[in-house]
A and B are shown apart, each in its own frame.
Chain A
């Protein structure tokens, strides 16, 4: 599975919070396309991830990580997996679509109800660890 990074809030166990904005989750319309039946579509949208935390926008990185960073200091860089950053399966029901060599999205691996897609993302919660090294 590809190694990916994402800035998210953390819970009491140092795991990413479950939230559509700033956590493990997606915002409908902005991050994921949904059809009239409430299915998450497979296109170029999904939960945004990066090859390395240093590739993340300065406007998202907290200043403790990068001088000039404009991110929220209550957010953290999480990593998951350790494979190469290439398109392919990511976790159950999920795949990584790389959009540039440094950025990609975790999208459903097939059209599925939005609720299932979100549940699949949530299921990865324990696989994420803070890594700001």
Chain B
């Protein structure tokens, strides 16, 4: 595992202050009011830092000075061969998760050329430390040093998407305007950025984006397939996943199914893809259930297969399975709406399984508390109370209101796309895409 950033808020404040100060220095504002304000704001947090954190901040500041064109005071004389060996050692340290050691080694390589490689490596180390804002600074510098290097631009775009979404969109738009003149990896990341914008838009507003991306992705896919040496399979898988998702949003179900199936063939252990194809076909084809079960077998961290399968089992009166799946689903990260519905499924299943009334009531109440907009849960609780009053001895399965399959698919489509899985951390796809490139 890579060493992570210090979690202390003091460290974060000083770290963020330093990054901001670096940008002000770059902009020629080293004596500005803003710089003074940063010093004032970071004095107290600095006093609370451990020696280790202080060394880390100092090292970062030295590295940032290099980007500002300030050379270290004691450059020393190291032969090119020694420099190369140090860089190789730094890469090894990074890959072994010793990020601080890797950064220290690179700090002794300021005479190394090309500088873009050192900046790229620093960026990749900060990415492993899960500090995307810092990674972006170094990746950007690497791109500025070597603007024609597509690996560098891809890395930068990938990071920018999460660290600075607005800036990422501007850069992605530039790429999409002239997609043929950029390498496929750059285009795919640009498409991913543009696609991610749609999550905050209404369906209607997003449709033109999907329409725009499909031809770009199709053309890029052809380039990826023809390329020699071949691009990493993960890049192909990413492009196809995006194509599938765009088609799905446009309701081109056959096309979406086709692309998801191709992506799964390329990456059969990718549970997110199985979930995506499953939700596409849920209610229309039994293959959806197989996809969800396969995703669970693969150990998916996603809530969706549990959510859909719990719903399915409620519908076919298999309440033991429905309860177990709801329980499992509730252990996973999800939206309030999904959690609320999982509580609802659990409450219904518990009633049918003969659990105490109070327990089912509490579960219904939990569903309502979790998502106060879940009016169906309120109605189901009312139905439950009426059943108690009439002392019904048998509860019919169709007495409950459950979400329609279309509603479930719609919500899943709106909040989940396999293209986004892992977007808050470096995805395996990301690293695989670079494995053959610019280590």
List residues of A whose CB falls within 8 A of some B CB: 21, 30, 48, 55, 57-60, 63, 66-72, 99-100, 102-103
**B52-77 interface bits toward A, Cβ cutoff 8 Å, 1 = contact, 0 = none:** 00100111111001000010110000
Pick 6 A–B contacts, CB within 8 A, sort by A. Answer: A57-B39, A59-B17, A60-B43, A68-B58, A70-B61, A103-B47
In the bound complex, do residue A57 and residue B72 qualify as a contact, i.e. CB atoms below 8 Å apart?
A: no
- Residues of B within 8 Å of A63, CB to CB, are 65, 70
A30→B60 CA distance, assembly (Å)? 28
Give the CA-CA distance A99 to B43 in the complex, in Å.
Answer: 13
Q: Indicate whether A58 sits within 8 Å of B54 (C-beta atoms), given known contacts A68-B61, A68-B65.
A: yes
1/0 per residue, CB under 8 A from A, across B23-39: the answer is 00100001100001011
Q: List A contacts of B61 (CB < 8 A).
A: 58, 68-70
Across the interface, name the chain A residue whose C-beta is closest to B48. Answer: A100
**Does B59 contact A48, Cβ atoms closer than 8 Å?**
no
The answer to whether A57 touches B46, judged by C-beta atoms less than 8 angstroms apart, is yes
Of A48, A67, A72, the residue contacting B58 (CB under 8 A) is A67
- B21 beta carbon closer than 8 Å to chain A: yes
| Total A-B residue contacts, Cβ distance less than 8 Å | 55
B59 adjacent to A59 (CB under 8 Å) = no
B284 contacts partner chain A, Cβ-Cβ < 8 Å: no
Please determine whether B39 and A60 come into contact, CB atoms closer than 8 angstroms.
Answer: yes
Verify A100–B47 contact, CB threshold 8 A: yes
Contact in complex: A70, B18 (CB < 8 Å): yes
CB nearest neighbor in A for B36: A21
Distance from B23 Cβ to chain A, minimum over Cβ atoms (Å): 12
* Contact between chains at B38 and A59 (CB < 8 Å): yes
Q: How far is the CB of B335 from chain A (nearest CB, A)?
A: 40
With both chains docked as a complex, state the minimum distance between the C-beta of A36 and any C-beta of chain B, in angstroms: 25
Option from B43, B59, B73 in Cβ contact (under 8 Å) with A57: B43
- In the complex, A72 Cα to B59 Cα: how many Å? 19
Is the pair B59, A68 in contact by a Cβ cutoff of 8 Å? yes
> How far apart sit A67 and B66, CA to CA, in the bound complex (Å)?
11
Are A102 and B58 within 8 A (Cβ)?
no
Q: Which residues of A contact B17 (CB under 8 A)?
A: 59
Q: Is B154 an interface residue (CB 8 A)?
A: no
For chain B, the count of residues having a C-beta within 8 Å of the partner chain is: 27
Chain B hits for A57, CB < 8 A: 14, 39, 42-43, 46-47
Instruction: Give residues in B with beta carbon < 8 Å to A.
Output: 14, 17-18, 21, 25, 30-31, 36, 38-40, 42-43, 46-48, 54, 57-62, 65, 70, 72-73
Given contacts A59-B18, A67-B73, could you give 14 more A-B pairs where the C-beta distance is less than 8 Å? A48-B43, A57-B42, A57-B43, A58-B18, A58-B54, A59-B21, A59-B39, A63-B70, A67-B58, A68-B58, A68-B60, A68-B61, A68-B62, A102-B47
Q: Which residues of B contact A30 (CB under 8 A)?
A: 40
> How many whole Å from B117's CB to the nearest CB in chain A?
22
Shortest distance from the beta carbon of B98 to any chain A beta carbon, whole Å: 21
Q: Could you tell me the distance between the alpha carbons of A68 and B21 in the complex, rounded to whole angstroms?
A: 12
B72 near A58 with CB under 8 A, answer no
- Which of these, A66, A67, A103, contacts B72 with CB under 8 Å? A67
Expressed in whole angstroms, the Cα–Cα distance for A121 and B426 within the complex equals 53
Chain B residues with CB below 8 A from A100, complex form: 47-48
Most buried by A among B18, B47, B60, B61: B47
A60 and B58 alpha carbons, distance in the complex (Å)? 12
Report how far A92 CA is from B62 CA in the complex, Å.
41
Q: Tell me if B57 and A58 are in contact (CB < 8 A).
A: yes
Give Cα distance in the complex from A66 to B54, angstroms. Answer: 12
Contacts of A67 in B (CB 8 A): 58, 62, 72-73
Closest Cβ of chain B to A32, distance in Å, is: 14
Q: Which of A21, A59, A68 contacts B46 (CB 8 A)?
A: A59
Shortest CB distance B59–A (Å): 7
Which residues of the partner chain A approach B65 to less than 8 Å between Cβ atoms? Answer: 63, 68
A99 touching B47, Cβ below 8 Å: yes
CB of B67, distance to nearest CB on chain A (Å):
13
Chain A residues within 8 Å of B48, by CB = 100
A21 to B37, CA, bound (A): 11
